[in-house]
Structure 1
Amino acid sequence: MAKPSYFYGIHAIEALLEHRSLDALSLFVQQGRENDSHVKDIIAQAQANGISMQPTQKDKLTQLCGSPQHQGVVLHARPLGFADEGLLDNVIGRNQCLLLVLDQITDAHNFGACLRTAVAMGVDAVICPKHHAASLTPTVAKVSVGAAEMMPIVSVTNLARTLTRIKDAGVFVFGTALNETAKPIYAADLTGKTALIMGSEGEGMRRLTTESCDELVYIPMSGNEHGNLQSLNVSVATGMALYEINRQRTLAAGQA
């Protein structure tokens, strides 16, 4: 079993306590901040679950979690685990399922930001490869503002095989790429069962991943006929692409 980690940040800790309080071991609170409204709520939540609370110096909190961005609270807890791959069977059985596939996103801040946007835009599950991908660290939890606790994140051994599996279930797979065959994302029909693949910064999607796509799309940008996906941070590009999916689905629902 993986050793416990030190999670930090108000929203990340609130989400952890709400979704898996049994994994929490002890709470450390910066001395003098016990009566801050959000911190007070966290303390009450911890006490309700029988979790001990220890007043702690600010510098000690920074030392525990390895970041000064703790917002006065650090929670010692078991690490978040990836969801079982079998869970995908349930997700892809839904009528309008939406999957976000992150192909070799290794930066924890980008990974966390993508998860945050995924929750906001109604993604049902996130899929990533087991190798050459960011882990579910406390930094990811902090950057995702608790989103990492709110949706299944599935780590798969063979991404190409998983994409074939979801395609067999009727999910249409869109890959983001700068390619002569790619179309502007707004010109694609994103209203059905959809998987959106975002590739790593710099290299984009791997060859096998690209070959698994049903269609390639790009994000048009002002002054550039074909856009330039690589000029966008991957988490920003993910947000723009997911927003377009959400926009199309909202419009389609209103016309139904």
Structure 2
Amino acid sequence: MPGNSARRGAVRKGGSKKGATVGSGGQRRRGLEGKGPTPKAVDRPNHKAYKAAQKAGRSKTGAPQRRSKPSQEVIAGRNSVLEALRTGIPATALHVAGRIDSDDRVRESLKIAADRALPIMETQRTELDRMTDDSVHQGIALQVPPYQYADARDLIDPEAPGIPLVVALDGITDPRNLGAIVRSVAAFGGHGVIVPERRSTGMTAAAWKTSAGAAARIPVALATNLTRALQDFRKAGFFVIGLDMDGDVELPDLQLASEPLVIVVGSEGKGLSRLVRETCDQVVSVPMSSAVESLNAGIAASVTLYEVARQRRQTSPR
């Protein structure tokens, strides 16, 4: 009745999931308080900015995440997989799409994998797309385990015969250059390769493939600090020479070929870094025609290794 002080406020029906309540209970007031400021785009998991930052290897706060060089690698494509299997690249599994249109490359890949007792997995094409980052895999992919790096100190006193010869990379980011250099080191009697832990490529599947199997015989060592590693080699009696187009000595005039050597190869764009250059006993250039500005890092290393091997053969006792 109007004016009845005993009248109750609105009551939610008993059949409600939340049960019967009297009045709002302060729900409207709490609703007006809001949920605080909107988070940044990179902090919201469903936002494309967050996903892009994650894909770029960054944390939710935007800080870069450090990655160790060893990582699971996948070689994709019929030609690449067959070449990798032929050269004996270590592998953990061969993934083949179901109902694949088989050809000679696929059949040979399957035979080599079976002969090596390598697991052969039938894999959905969508999974192959994910494994290979949507590259052209042609229905076949080879999974490669993380590379086991040697210790740089192990190369100071190599067990292999001959005068020690080591190649160090300074700022080389193309894995194909690394693979080509490993192959040249094996061809010209070298004992190992050193790569820095940061700002340098590692032994990826592409490097394995380019080395044409030489990486199975030539150790690749990981150096936390390249300058410090070169100083350790100098203390052990090695001479350190750096390759640079503005070198003080031309390669044919090199007088240190018969000594224990570390040959440092810089990047094509920046050359040798300042600290590494200051650590070198000599900076050597490869004489070239004026029509060519510079050589590919892998080719420059190969030319230098050949010249060192040639001079050593001339000076070695018959």
Q: Does 2:178 correspond to 1:111?
A: yes
- Aligned equivalent of 2:72: 4
The equivalent of 1:132 in structure 2 is 199
The corresponding residue for 2:313 is 250
8 A Cα contact 1:6 1:138, kept in partner: yes
What corresponds to 1:32 in structure 2? 102
Q: Which runs of 5+ in 1 are unaligned?
A: none
Cα separation, 1, equivalents of 2:128 and 2:211: 20
Shift of 1:250: 2.4
Secondary structure (helix, strand or coil) at the match of 2:157 reads helix
What is the identity, as a one-letter code, of the residue corresponding to 1:5? E
Residues 1:99 and 1:89: Cα distance change in structure 2 (over 3 Å): closer
- Partner-residue secondary structure (3-state), 2:149: coil
- 1:142 counterpart = 2:205: no
Higher normalized contact order (CA 8 Å, seq sep 6+, divided by chain length): 1
Identity of aligned residues (%): 29
What secondary structure sits across from 1:90 in the alignment? coil
Deviation at 1:83, TM superposition (A): 1.8
Question: In 2, Cα distance between the equivalents of 1:39 and 1:85?
Answer: 41
State the alpha-carbon separation in 1 of the partners of residues 309 and 153 from structure 2. Answer: 26
3-state SS of 2:189 partner: coil
- Aligned residue in 2 for 1:171: 238
**Aligned counterpart in structure 2 of residue 238 of structure 1, from 298, 301, 312:** 301
Letter in 2 for 1:217: V
Q: Measure the CA separation in 2 of the matches of 1:163 and 1:13.
A: 35
Q: What is the match of residue 85 of structure 2?
A: 13
In structure 2, stretches of 5+ residues that fail to align are 1-67
CA contact (8 A) 1:12 1:144 kept: no
1:213 is matched with which residue? 280
Which structure shows the higher strand fraction?
1
Cα deviations across residues 91-116 of structure 1 (Å, max 9, x unaligned)? 28965011011101012232222222
Residue 254 of structure 2 is matched in structure 1 by: 188
The answer to whether the 8 A contact 1:7-1:141 is kept is: no
Rg: which structure is higher?
2
Q: Secondary structure at the match of 1:231?
A: coil
Q: More helix by proportion, 1 or 2?
A: 1
Aligned equivalents of 2:239, 2:226: Cα separation in 1:
15
- Give the match's secondary structure for 1:145: coil
* 1:73/1:150 CA distance change after superposition, 3 Å: farther
Report the CA distance shift for 1:141/1:58 in structure 2 as closer, same or farther (over 3 A).
farther
TM (norm. structure 2) is: 0.64
- Offset of 1:176 from its aligned partner? 1.4
Q: Which amino acid aligns with 2:309?
A: N
- In structure 1, what is the equivalent of residue 17 of structure 2? none
